[in-house]
Structure 1
Amino acid sequence: MKIDWHFPPARAGFFGVIDKLIGPGATKAEKNLQLFVPFLAGFTVLAHAYLDAFGWGWGQYLVAGLITVDIVGGIITNATSSAKRWFHREGQGFKQHMGFISIHFIQLTILSWAFLDFDIIWIASVGGYMMLASAVILLTPLYLQRPIALLMYALAIVLITYQFKPLPDMTWFLPLFYLKLLLSHVLREEPYRPDHE
């Protein structure tokens, strides 16, 4: 295996947008993981909700399906070598990463509206920890970021268990939400590439 921080230019048009979401030069295996696993997860969540008669309305099904695909897809995508070298390229620093992370307040707001009768305290506490933990990791010297990120994630699990209100029938969401952001996205890791590339 080789480490290669160089990436091809993003393509033009629609495929260029995809490149900027998953990292230019993504391998076929990376693309397959990012495509099939999230949709399988989304289908599984919706089927489980239907078969176990959660009593969701159509809006809850829609939100749960889309959020599942995004969270599972985000965990996979942000952990790929192609995404690592793209999102941690030169010029992508604290401000850019925190900007990306702050967008996730939209997800929290939609979920709170759909499942918690728009609980603003939940949005603020869950989102506040998201921002605080991400900032702590990003401001930590690189050689210590991995253990600090794991520590911040461990604390997230404690808060999820004892402090944050769980989403009804979606208790899996917060552990995966923090996994996507604190471990999969924020950590700068070496982009290992296939030898035949």
Structure 2
Amino acid sequence: MPSHQAYPSPHSGLKGQIDRFIGPEATRAEVLLQLVPAIMAAIAAPAYALTLSSQWTPLQLGLIAVLGVDLVGGILTNATSAAKRWYHRPGQGWRQHLTFVAVHLIHIGLVVLLFRNGDWGYLLGVSGYLLGASAVILRSPLYLQRPIALGLYSLALLGNLYLFIPIPGLEWFLPLFFLKLLVSHLLYETPYRPGSNL
């Protein structure tokens, strides 16, 4: 099963910045798979929200669009072989992965600020669960990380349904948020190349 686990270096300049985001040597198919659904989410998410209420502010609708792009694009990007090679290359340990996850606490803070009227319980509960679940996954033996991540993701889905009242128009936020981070980003997978077969 050739996986081509060589770790290519990013280019220089703007292309290098993109490489550091999506992974060097991303194929055309990988790039399209990341971009097209993300752009569609940027349009569909605020359009869906507007079907439920006309009371959204432009700032709220803008954030809904950004969250749609980031979460849909992030789920797909982090699942590509190019991103797996990049984010799980030598030197990328639990600290780097936990830092990547921690940056996303900004998402939770913005949702609390703009949509949940400063709900501190939501902020602390979701942030604490995200960091705790991420630490458990990263500290687990490699062969157990996938089932543990899926179990913790399942608990996050239940929490979204039964612990917190989802925001109408943003019911998708926590399910996609945790899918991106706990399952798509943190899990190491063999980064196959085009032409690889089982």
Q: Shorter-chain TM-score: which interval?
A: over 0.9
1:60 aligns with 2:27: no
Question: Secondary structure in 2 aligned to 1:3?
Answer: coil
Q: 1:117-132 alignment to 2 at 5 Å? A: 117-132=117-132
Question: Secondary structure in 1 aligned to 2:108?
Answer: helix
Which residue number corresponds to residue 156 of structure 1?
A: 156
Which residue number corresponds to residue 39 of structure 1?
A: 39
Kept after mapping to 2: 8 A contact 1:126/1:164: no
Distance 1:53 1:156 in 2: 26
Distance 2:153 2:116 in 1: 23
Structure 1 unaligned blocks of 5 or more: none
Structure 2 unaligned blocks of 5 or more: none
Which residue number corresponds to residue 20 of structure 1?
A: 20
Distance 2:89 2:158 in 1: 33
Kept after mapping to 1: 8 A contact 2:48/2:169: no
Which residue number corresponds to residue 70 of structure 2?
A: 70
Distance 2:50 2:169 in 1: 11
Kept after mapping to 1: 8 A contact 2:137/2:145: yes
Considering only aligned residues, what root-mean-square deviation do their CA atoms show, in Å? 1.4
Instruction: State which drifts further: 183-192 or 39-48.
Output: 39-48
Per-residue CA shift, 1:72-114, capped at 9, x if unaligned? 0000000001101110111101100000000011111111111
Kept after mapping to 1: 8 A contact 2:10/2:16: yes
Change (3 A) 1:38 1:165: same
1:181 corresponds to which letter in structure 2? L
Which residue number corresponds to residue 8 of structure 2?
A: 8
Which residue number corresponds to residue 190 of structure 1?
A: 190
Kept after mapping to 2: 8 A contact 1:105/1:127: yes
Distance 1:3 1:174 in 2: 32
Deviation, 1:45, is 1.2
Distance 2:6 2:164 in 1: 41
Distance 1:172 1:186 in 2: 20
Please, what TM-score do these two structures have when normalized by structure 2? 0.94
Distance 1:55 1:77 in 2: 33
Distance 2:116 2:23 in 1: 35
2:190 corresponds to which letter in structure 1? E
1:82 aligns with 2:51: no
Please, what TM-score do these two structures have when normalized by structure 1? 0.95
Distance 2:49 2:166 in 1: 16
Deviation, 1:2, is 2.8
Question: Secondary structure in 2 aligned to 1:193?
Answer: coil
Instruction: State which drifts further: 171-180 or 116-125.
Output: 116-125
Per-residue CA shift, 1:12-64, capped at 9, x if unaligned? 11111110010001000000011111110110112222344342010100110
Instruction: State which drifts further: 72-81 or 5-14.
Output: 5-14
1:65 corresponds to which letter in structure 2? A
Aligned residues: 196
1:163 corresponds to which letter in structure 2? L
Instruction: State which drifts further: 80-89 or 43-52.
Output: 43-52
